[in-house]
Amino acid sequence: MMRIPYETMVTEFKRVLEKYGFEEKLAQDAAVIFAQNSLAGVFSHGLNRFPRVVEYLQKGEIDPKVQADCVLSMGAFERWDGHRGFGPLNAKLAMDRAVALAKEYGIGIVALGNNNHWMRGGSYGWQAADQGCIGICWSNTCPNMPAWGGVDRKIGNNPLIFAIPRSSGEHVVIDCAVSQFSYGKLEDCRLKGVQLPVPGGYDTQGNLTTDPGEIEKTWRVLPMGYWKGSGISIALDLIATVLSNGNSVHTIGTFGDEVGLTQIMIAIDPSKANTVELTDQIVDDIVGDVKASIPEKEGGQVYYPGELELKSIRENMELGVPVIQEKWEQVLAM
């Protein structure tokens, strides 16, 4: 494992994206999203995912010159079309709009259809929280997980994000796929040569396993909470597809590649009902109580959602962003 300065990573990503058709400002914004994902320690949706996005650009699956726009507006709710543009920039645009609606109405909902992969869903939770809003968002995916009780892939490991703001910037953010482990996490563990901490899917013999490579072979990831994760996945896909009139998990599965996804962005402005100080106090009290837990292991501690990301950001800004040499050299050669 080697480390690369954050700014160097942004510069290299921007260079490659400009080469594949992005205007300079959009290339810069997109490069920052990828680099920030790695900076926060989410390598699976930063550097490790970048070559796959370039592959989609080469195949024409992503159009770098189009942006999402509003096709239906009803007060606090809007429906947007992503036009199969660059997923992260469209998602950022949609969450900014949801926040603007929340500042006006108290709540804002943007249903974004026909978009592409948004990379790290947590980015848009942090984005809402940085603007003082509670953020709730999710995306559907291609069919990459069996429904509970099934063997073939019918549902998505649809990522779900909740973000609660604190004026200090130390927001509480949970970002999770509804599979026990996302495919990005499986790839990250395989590249690092480590086993999963708990079983995450089935091997080629039909047995539960902690081996990420075996699960990648079968594509039989385990829903989190077994039948509960399966049910939540189906409900998220239904809500997203109904609100956006976009593509369902089933429809996305007919495209050949994971494109044309559907995403929901919800922002809620707590300052409509609370002072900033009151919201901070409520969040601080709850987080403080959780942090006061008796640790399972001597000398250990309990972290609140998002705390480890903040720790990674501070450490990686100072020491450089950890990269897998093979992946970094792949980007340099592009």
Output 309-315 pairs: Cβ under 8 A, ≥24 positions apart.
309/40, 309/41, 309/42, 309/122, 309/173, 310/170, 312/39, 312/40, 312/41, 313/39, 313/40, 313/41
Strands 77-81 and 201-202: unpaired
Residue 97 makes CB contacts below 8 A (sequence gap 6+) with 70, 78, 80, 108, 110, 265
- Bridge-based pairing of strands 107-115 and 77-81 is parallel
Per-residue DSSP letter, 161: E
Long-range contacts of 174-178 (CB under 8 A, 24+ apart): 174/125, 174/305, 174/306, 175/120, 175/121, 175/122, 175/125, 176/224, 177/224, 178/145, 178/223, 178/224, 178/229, 178/230, 178/232, 178/233, 178/236
Give the active site residues: 45
Instruction: Enter the tokens of residue 186.
Output: 């499986």
Cβ(321)–Cβ(3) below 8 Å:
yes
Stretch (H or E) spanning 112 = strand 107-115
Q: Could you give the CA distance from residue 195 to residue 191 in angstroms, rounded to a whole number?
A: 10
Q: With beta carbons less than 8 A apart as the criterion, state whether 110 and 78 touch.
A: yes
